[in-house]
Amino acid sequence: MRKIAFVQRSLLLWIGVLACAGLLPLDARSDVSVAAATAPPQIYHIVTTALCARLHETVRPAVAMILQNDGTIAKSPPLFKRYGRAVFENGVASGVGGDSINNVSPGTSMTLQQMSYLVSPIARNLIAAQTLLDDEKLLAPTGNAADNATLAQIKKQLLETIAFQSASLDLINGFVQTQQMGELQHAGEEYIGEIQGTDTTYQTAKDTPNPWQDPNTPGISQNPYSLDPSQIPGLAVGYNPLSRIEDGVVWLQSETAKREDIAGKTISAALSQCPK
């Protein structure tokens, strides 16, 4: 019994020693290998202003869509030229004449279809960009009067740019819609003579269309912003020769670029105040 009691006391002594050793620092435990301590991660704090945050979140995507529209609109003048060439070639071949834009051929139909592919991307970008710029958060007070003025100036300059791109869209889409409607309206007219020749009881007017006059008298839809299409040099609301529409688009491209340059300088100056 005395031997068993001695063993129990020895076990209790070792348990107490181990418990005390657990309270010692690592370097004091001679029987424990100490691994090299890992340095704590560095935490970086990026401090930005309300101006820089809004330039990043709102202005940058709006500018990206405006610049994307520049590339899309630039595809339209070559298509107008191609359409005019197809009209001329078809007019000469059919004896109608080469100055009318109201004659249909495979070349004009294909070019018109390619023009129609430009409309939706431009419109989507314009709507999205203006939605961003019209968000009240863009011009919410920043606590700095100078920053407030800068954001208001950037918004105004970008909206002016959008107005000119919208006018380009009006010209492209107006031409496409007018010509496509004209093709639909006059489709099948070549069969009227055959119908009248086989049924004498069926009488219809046989007015000969004037090949020199566009029967649809196309107009340009009202610009949703503030640019009056009649201000475009050489362009008036109503029937316009094809070359005049092309010239109008080229003039709008030039005016858009001027406003983009002005807005770009303002935005660059504002970005220079933001952390890199």
DSSP per-residue letters across 76-124 = HHHHHHHHHHHHHHHHHHHTS-SS-S----HHHHHHHHHHHHHHHHHHH
Task: Examine residue 262 and state whether it is found in any structural domain, yes or no.
Answer: yes
Task: Examine residue 27 and state whether it is found in any structural domain, yes or no.
Answer: no
Structure-token match 């770009």, residue found: 264
Domain with 109, as residue range(s), is: 50-183+212-271
Task: Examine residue 54 and state whether it is found in any structural domain, yes or no.
Answer: yes
Task: Examine residue 242 and state whether it is found in any structural domain, yes or no.
Answer: yes
Q: How many structural domains compose the chain?
A: 1
pTM over 0.85: no
CA distance 93 to 97: 8
Task: Examine residue 70 and state whether it is found in any structural domain, yes or no.
Answer: yes
Q: What are phi and psi of 45, to 5 degrees?
A: -115, 120
Torsion of CA 251, 253, 257, 259, to 10 degrees: 70
Task: Examine residue 230 and state whether it is found in any structural domain, yes or no.
Answer: yes
Tens place of pLDDT per residue across the chain (276 aa): 554 454 455 544 444 544 454 444 555 545 545 556 777 776 655 567 899 999 999 999 999 999 999 999 999 999 999 988 888 777 666 655 555 566 778 888 899 999 999 999 999 999 999 999 999 999 999 999 999 999 999 999 999 999 999 999 999 998 898 888 876 655 555 555 555 555 545 444 445 544 444 444 444 334 345 666 667 776 665 555 778 888 889 999 999 999 999 999 999 999 998 887
Q: Which of 98, 85, 107, 105 is nearest to 211 (CA)?
A: 98
Task: Examine residue 86 and state whether it is found in any structural domain, yes or no.
Answer: yes
